[in-house]
């Protein structure tokens, strides 16, 4: 190949710029030019490109987010052309043609479930594609861990450690709402590493009475505070998840939010202890990448570039037990579910007396 394109789409995370730098530098050493597609599938459809070279990517591996920009709503084969009247069109063929006209022969697409499902469609439409999974949720079957997860865990741990000082000072219960959607990896790992007393996960509905009894037990033992790490999609037994809003035009239509506020009111009412909610939100996705994400991003970027330059496409590349792997684009994507019973972090947490609300 003489020229390829790279794109980042979906929610941003730390480690994306490491992928971009690795692809660009490795491509240059093979005599391959690289075009960056801007703002995810918006740039793919609307022809927003930039040429990338070593000057474009100098030192970007230490920066969070993505220099190419991103978008997490647009779908190229169901692209909104007149939302008010519900008109959508398949823009994949015309978008591929536009890239062909500037000499692009293959693509590397970095993103989550929705992004890589569209990448599969583009590959099947005739443009060779290699996909790279990224998500702070760590719930994609193509890689474990996924790019962005390790940094998000560290961000969560740092935030909760700072929260402990005010919790101690005021003898408070703090309910920390964490991202992850229907996957509990981020809440489990971040909650455990930060010393949370109670961890509530979407894979296991909690019993409110058990949670409140644990709060009473901890506070009466002489400890001055309680930290509860609650996944945004966790829910009480017999109840539904707490949904902040629904976006009809998004791949992930449910936007979870509000569990910390609801749970804080309930705990304070039942136990009498002053309880405060804290929503970490997008703070978990931001900031400089940790070393693990820089290394993983670079390795996967180089692996993807080598596959593409060898005329091999239609793969998702990832890591498993620190070994690089490739898998074919699946027709149906199934998220990786956290197995609470088999996960050694969860088992260690239970052995140490951390409560899971059951």
Residues 134 and 164 in one domain: no
Residues 221 and 252 in one domain: yes
Q: Is residue 262 part of a domain?
A: yes
The residue-averaged pLDDT of 251-268 equals: 86
Q: Where on the phi/psi map is residue 265: left (φ > 0), alpha (ψ -120 to 50), or beta?
A: alpha
Using the predicted structure, report yes or no on whether residue 249 has a pLDDT greater than 80.
no
Contact partners, residue 232, CB within 8 Å, separation at least 6:
177, 178, 179, 180, 181, 242, 256, 257, 259
Residues 226 and 243 in one domain: yes
Render pLDDT for 78-111 as a digit per residue (tens, 0 to 9).
998 887 888 999 999 999 999 999 999 999 999 9
Q: Is residue 328 part of a domain?
A: no
Q: Which residues pair with 316 in a beta bridge?
A: 131, 327
Residues 89 and 187 in one domain: no
Backbone angles phi, psi at 92, to 5 degrees: -65, -50
Distances from the Cα of 231 to the Cαs of 274, 280, 332, in angstroms?
21, 11, 25
> What kind and span of H or E run contains 95?
helix 92-101
The residue-averaged pLDDT of 7-23 equals: 96
- What DSSP designation does 120 have? H
Residues 131 and 177 in one domain: no
User: What is the value of pTM for the model shown?
Assistant: 0.93
Among candidate residues 39, 117, 137, 139, the one labeled active-site is 137
Question: Could you tell me what percent of the chain has a pLDDT over 90?
Answer: 85
Render pLDDT for 196-231 as a digit per residue (tens, 0 to 9).
999 999 999 999 999 999 999 999 999 999 999 999
Residues 110 and 242 in one domain: no
Higher pLDDT, 9 or 336: 9
Q: Is residue 325 part of a domain?
A: no
pLDDT of residue 26: 97
Residues 32 and 168 in one domain: no
Tokens of 336: 């990786």
Residues 40 and 110 in one domain: yes
- The answer, yes or no, to whether the previous bond of 278 is cis (omega within 30 of 0) is no
Range scoring the smallest mean pLDDT among 8-22, 256-270, 286-300, 330-344: 330-344
- CATH code for the domain in which residue 186 is found: 3.40.50.460
Residues 120 and 178 in one domain: no
Q: Is residue 356 part of a domain?
A: no
Q: Judging by beta carbons within 10 Å of its beta carbon (0-12, 13-18, 19+), is residue 110 exposed, middle or buried?
A: buried
Count of the separate structural domains present in the chain = 2
Residues 25 and 63 in one domain: yes
Residues 234 and 143 in one domain: no
Active site residue 137: yes
CB 65 within 8 A of CB 16: yes
Using the predicted structure, report yes or no on whether residue 129 has a pLDDT greater than 60.
yes
Residues 105 and 159 in one domain: no
Range scoring the smallest mean pLDDT among 66-70, 99-103, 239-243, 332-336: 332-336
pLDDT mean across residues, the chain: 94
Q: Is residue 91 part of a domain?
A: yes
> What kind and span of H or E run contains 34?
strand 33-37
Residue 272, domain extent: 154-285+339-351
Distances from the Cα of 194 to the Cαs of 15, 53, 133, 223, 282, in angstroms?
22, 40, 26, 16, 18
pLDDT of residue 325: 96
């Amino acid at each position: 190949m003489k020229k390829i394109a790279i794109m980042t789409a979906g929610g941003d995370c730390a480690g994306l710029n490491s992928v971009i730098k690795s692809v660009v530098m490795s491509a240059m050493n093979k005599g391959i030019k690289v075009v960056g597609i801007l703002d995810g599938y918006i740039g793919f459809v609307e022809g927003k490109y930039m040429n990338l070279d070593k000057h474009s990517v100098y030192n970007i591996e230490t920066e969070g987010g993505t220099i190419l920009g991103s978008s997490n709503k647009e779908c190229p084969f169901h692209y909104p052309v007149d939302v008010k009247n519900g008109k959508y069109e398949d823009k994949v063929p015309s978008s591929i043609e536009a890239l062909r006209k500037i000499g692009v022969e293959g693509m590397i697409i970095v993103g989550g479930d929705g992004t890589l499902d569209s990448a599969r469609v583009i590959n099947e439409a005739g443009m060779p594609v290699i996909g790279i999974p990224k998500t702070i949720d760590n719930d994609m079957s193509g890689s474990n861990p996924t790019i962005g997860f390790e940094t998000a865990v560290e961000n969560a741990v740092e935030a909760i450690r700072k929260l402990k000082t005010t919790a101690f000072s005021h003898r408070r219960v703090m309910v920390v709402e964490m991202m992850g959607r229907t996957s509990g990896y981020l809440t489990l790992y971040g909650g455990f590493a930060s010393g949370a007393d109670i961890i509530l996960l979407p894979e296991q509905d909690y019993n409110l009475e058990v949670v409140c009894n644990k709060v009473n037990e901890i506070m009466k033992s002489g400890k001055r505070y309680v930290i509860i790490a609650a996944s945004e999609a966790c829910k009480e037994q017999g109840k539904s998840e707490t949904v902040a809003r629904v976006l009809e035009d998004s791949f992930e239509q449910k936007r979870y939010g509000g569990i910390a506020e609801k749970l804080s009111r309930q705990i304070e009412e039942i136990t009498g202890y002053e309880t405060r909610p804290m929503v970490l939100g997008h703070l978990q996705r931001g900031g400089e990448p940790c070393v693990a994400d820089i290394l993983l991003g670079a390795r996967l970027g180089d692996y993807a570039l080598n596959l593409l330059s060898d005329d091999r496409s239609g793969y998702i590349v990832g890591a498993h037990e620190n070994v690089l792997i490739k898998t074919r684009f699946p027709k149906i994507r199934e998220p990786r579910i956290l197995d609470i019973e088999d996960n050694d972090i969860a088992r260690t947490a239970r052995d140490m007396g951390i409560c899971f609300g059951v």
